[in-house]
Structure 1
Amino acid sequence: MLRHTLDSYSISATPSLGFLRRPSGSIYSMYEPAIDSNFGDNFKSKLLTECSKIYSKQDLDKISRMMSTWSGRGSLPEQLIGELPITFGCSVTQTVFNSVNVMVGVGVLSMPNTIAQAGWVGMGMLLLFAAMCCYTAYLMKDCFESKETIKSYPDIGEAAFGKYGRLIIAIILYTSLYAYCVEFIILEGDNITSLLPGVSLHLGGLNLDSVHFYAILSAVVMGLTLLVKNARVISLLSATGVVATVMVILCVFWLGTVNVGFHENGPPVKLGGIAFALGVYGFCFSGHCVFPNIYQSMADKTKFTKAMIICFVLCVLMYGVVAIMGFLMFGEQSLSQITLNMPEDAIASKVALNLFVSLTFYTYALLMNPLASAIEELLPTKVANSYWCFIILRVALVASSVCIAFALPFFGLVMALMGSVLCILTSLILPAACFLRIKGSKATPTQIGLSVSIMVLAIICMIVGAYSSLADIANQL
């Protein structure tokens, strides 16, 4: 998903490790489109450089058309299990909807907290990150147009830095998927406790408070969704992410006007919280893993830049509205998730909590399944095709994500750490670096200057944000 979703509800497109090994008859073959499997699979398993040597120009044109049609029908290439359903020949409106669904998700919950941590300057930082990420999305479009064989984010890494570039990007993307799953465990434990407080479990020497009990219970339920092989069913449910987010924004507005009021205020700048805000904003605009598939799905690819500009404007408006309203409601007391600040007896609070809790159940499988599938590709074919491997691998991944969530139960700080490292890498540093490498001397001075500036600023933000998040996590432990 992310292709269909890196973010959040949506979350992150899953790269392919097929160039390492792709087992024939994988348990996930049911998700793959019905195209000429021999021709298509042979092509996909080759590195870009090898393809240019093996196939003629006519063959490459044929393959390009096949893959374009394939990725446009809604069953996305490779492991993109659970990505958003993108129909063939998307209009600008459909593209904007899909892109917003990718980027606006759980990150919206932390918006008021960023203002509480960094001051009102956080709104300026939100605009800056949106502008930079929008520009790097444009750079990715240029990368796709430079070579017909580039169809995915890992393809960009390979075209720029060879097979190691592809491998590094794949590792970063899959690590992001796993980190999102950890975030969802934390999110479920916190928010279900707000809905149903006072529940605990005492069994022998096992003592679980409400947060830990609900986190485990949620993990069990979400783990069961991993056993649903027709992931498109879950994908369709996850596509309601935009609607859910809009509903949450309306709930926040209702609480502010009817229940709580907008009466809080804060300082313009709080230097100590700027690094935290940087990480959260990096997390909020990390949709670049999905943009390759969204680009391929468009009927008129020349309008991709226009669609991205509209998408980022809408995202800024949605994030900004929640940030301003939430902070004016709760001020310096804004917690890592605005849902934790909401009055427990208000109907709007219950609606918002139920929306996020229910949608997170579906999204978890969309993120974890591609990761499990990638691991299966690295296993011997006989083992990977075993149903016991299918079950044991997913149980192990769910259990490990629960353990990490218990070890690091800090939703906001984990989000900031992810945004500072993984998301800034995938959304700012890697697109700019790959663009400069692929375009070379063909890049204009303006493109070179902006790309280098974004890389330098992003590296600084990554270092500062990662250090601040790790230090805060260490202090909380």
Structure 2
Amino acid sequence: MENIIDKSSGVVKPGVGDRINGLGYLMVAYFLVTTVVGAGFLSLPKAVANTGWIGIPLILLFGGSVGFAVTRLGRTWLILEERWPKYREPARQPYMDMAEKAFGTIGRRICFGCVMFTLVGDGIAFLVLMAGMVNSIIPAVSVCGWILIFAVLLWPTSFFGTPKDFWLVSIFAVVATGVTIVAILIQLFLDIPLHPDPQYPNPTIKSFFLGFSAIVFAFGGVSVFPTLQNDMANRREWWKSVIIGFAVIFALYLPVTIAGYVIIGVDVSSNILLDASSGVNITIAITLNVVNLLMTYIICFNPVAQALEDICNVPNSFNWKRVLLRTAVVVFEVFFALAVPDFGAILNLIGGSTISILSFIFPPLMYMRLTDMTRDETWHEDAKDRTIPLWERIYLWMIVVVAAIGSVMSTVFALMVILDPETLGASCFADFSLSV
């Protein structure tokens, strides 16, 4: 530890990368896993179906590239601590702070917009996903009806203040995901006779990039990673958390992904849970996932609400302004969930756009930008001069270029799917107009 004692006051202050009270790298690795796993793994078999057999190595390549980019994101934060000591104290928006130091106010605003779009999009996707899963158990109520029911259930929870402790939620998330994966694998192998002739056609350009966005969505959560690193006792050990965390994520993702595609083939749906035959184990898995998504929705909703309250100068207490603003956000999410009640279409849009930017593009660019900066008078006198090896710089630029191309193409195709007459025809509003 490199904590520093202030000679004038005798107060112990943190050094670069150190905090007197903080989490160890193993605990942070655990939280990293809980941040990433969840709804994403349900769509990975469909992602492989869209990309063909190459989708399996793509999961390893993209996941590994996200992990590498995230380690550079951790180094970027250490650069901030070295040059500007104020960042050695806990930060509320570390990702946005890095974007601002690298690219100024514009960079911060773009980063903020990407984070907000991702979290709001996650909320919409969770509503649609929960509605679809419960509809498979209780079909008497339509998917649109379940979206409204879940919205009513979640609306009172939107008024909560800052979450204080999510230990139980995090533990439940990992347990629910593990149980779900085991249940899916068991049922898929039992269902092999129901899929005697699975097909594995070559992907089209459109399906490939839709698969790209689904894979990226499965590795989302990068916008929260700087906050996890910020809570560490030794933030230089962030790379250890990343390696352990991503190893666990691969161990959870790959079995159900490979089994789902091998057994069902191209006909696998965007939610593998809905492809497994109904049974007690699948019903339990769906129930666990719905409860997990309910709690995850609350966690994702809170930072969006707080950020908007800061912008609108809403007092940090329970008051009518909070009720009005947060109700408006819930209504906004419900509106889009009803307009596009297609989990696959929503995750393709989020994964192809903002998650790609936050996971692949921003981390390398911020790291290279800050590393290449010329020393000036605002830096702390002990700040190091850093360099990037040529091989690393080439790899970082490859990540940025490939992600930029994939992001643009995936977003275009995702919008084409959402605006397709068939998708619009499945809108809950279309059903309402027909009934009227």
TM-score when scaled to structure 1?
0.76
Paired residues of 1:336 and 1:412 also in contact (CA < 8 A): yes
1:253 aligns with 185
Residue 68 of structure 1, CA deviation: 6.3
1:212 aligns with 2:144: yes
Q: Give how far 1:110 is off.
A: 0.5
1:448 matched to 2:387? The reply is: no
Q: Is structure 2 residue 55 aligned with structure 1 residue 122?
A: yes
Q: Does 1:304 align with 2:246?
A: no
The verdict on how the C-alpha distance between 1:259 and 1:453 changes in structure 2, with shifts beyond 3 A counting, is closer
State the Cα deviation string for residues 79-121 of structure 1 (Å, max 9, x = none). xxxxxxxxx331x332221111111110011111112222111
Q: Is the 8 A contact 2:191 2:276 kept in 1?
A: no
Pairing 1:466–2:411 present: yes
Deviates further, 398-407 or 303-312: 303-312
Q: Contact (CA 8 Å) 1:235, 1:366: kept in 2 or not?
A: no
Greater displacement, 254-263 / 178-187: 254-263
**Contact 1:429/1:455 (8 A) holds in 2:** yes
Query: Once the two structures are superposed, what CA deviation does each residue of 1:38-96 show, in whole Å capped at 9, x if it has no partner?
Result: xxxxxxxxxxxxxxxxxx9999x9775699649x5xxxxxxxxxxxxxxx331x33222
Cα distance in 1, alignment partners of residues 196 and 281 from structure 2: 19
* Alignment-mate amino acid for residue 221 of structure 1: L
Report the equivalent of 1:436.
Answer: 368
- Return closer, same or farther for 1:68/1:219 CA change in 2, 3 Å cut-off: farther
- The code of the aligned residue for 1:447 comes to E
Report the residue type matching 1:196 in the other structure.
Answer: I
User: Does the aligned pair in 1 maintain the 2:143–2:341 contact within 8 Å?
Assistant: no
| CA root-mean-square deviation | 2.6
Alignment equivalent of 1:164, drawn from 102, 106, 111:
106
Residues 224-275 of structure 1, C-alpha deviation per residue, up to 9 Å, x if partnerless?
A: 2223346336663244211111111110122123354686644374134210
Question: Given that residues 160 and 434 in structure 1 are in contact (C-alpha distance below 8 angstroms), is that contact kept between their aligned partners in structure 2?
Answer: yes
In structure 2, do the counterparts of structure 1 residues 353 and 220 end up closer, same or farther at CA, with 3 Å as the change threshold? same
The one-letter code sitting in structure 1 at the alignment partner of 2:113 is I
- Larger mean CA deviation between 368-377 and 325-334 belongs to 325-334
Matched to 1:194, the amino acid is S
CA distance in 2, matches of 1:164, 1:471: 29
Aligned to 1:281: 215
CA contact (8 A) 1:68 1:296 kept: no
Partner of residue 292, structure 2 = 359
Q: Secondary structure at the match of 2:221?
A: coil
Deviations 1:333-367 (A, max 9, x none): 211111221222x1111011101111111111111
Length-normalised TM-score, structure 2: 0.83
Letter aligned with residue 292 of structure 1: P
Instruction: Identify which of 311, 334, 340 aligns with 1:402.
Output: 334
The amino acid across from 1:162 in the alignment is G
- Cα distance in structure 2, aligned partners of 1:400 and 1:458: 29
Whether 2:235 is the aligned partner of 1:315: answer no
- Structure 1 unmatched ranges of 5 or more: 1-55, 73-87, 200-209
Q: Which moved more, 1:218-227 or 1:414-423?
A: 218-227
Distance 1:231 1:312 in 2: 26
Which of these residues, 163, 168, 172, is aligned with residue 231 of structure 1?
163
Q: Is the 8 A contact 1:234 1:362 kept in 2?
A: no
In the TM superposition, residue 188 of structure 1 has moved relative to its aligned partner by: 1.6
1:75-154 pair list within 5 angstroms: 88-90=22-24, 92-148=25-81, 149-150=86-87, 152-154=94-96
Aligned AA for 1:215? I
1:111 aligned partner, one-letter code: L
Correspondence for 1:270: 203
Contact preservation (8 Å) 1:185, 1:219: yes
Alignment: residue pair count: 392
Q: How far apart are the structure 2 equivalents of 1:172 and 1:230? A: 21
CA distance in 2: counterparts of 1:226 and 1:432, whole angstroms: 35
Report if the CA contact (8 A) 2:184-2:273 is conserved.
no
Query: Does residue 1:221 correspond to 2:166, yes or no?
Result: no
Question: Which of the residues 408, 425, 435 maps onto 2:357?
Answer: 425
Rounded to whole Å, the distance in 2 between the matches of 1:245 and 1:58 is 52
**1:351 alignment partner, SS class:** helix
Q: In the TM superposition, what is the alpha-carbon distance from 1:469 to its structure 2 partner? A: 1.1
- Corresponding position of 1:240: 172
Structure 2 residues not aligned, in runs of 5+: 1-5, 374-386, 425-436
* Counterpart-to-counterpart distance in 1, 2:187 and 2:351: 29
Task: After superposition, give the CA deviation of every residue in 1:382-427 in whole Å (9 maximum; x if it has no partner).
Answer: 6x65611111111111111010011112211210111111101000
Query: Whole-Å Cα distance in 1 between the matches of residues 181 and 14 of structure 2?
Result: 41
Q: Distance in 1 between matches of 2:180 and 2:398?
A: 36
Deviations 1:159-186 (A, max 9, x none): 1012222222112111111111110111
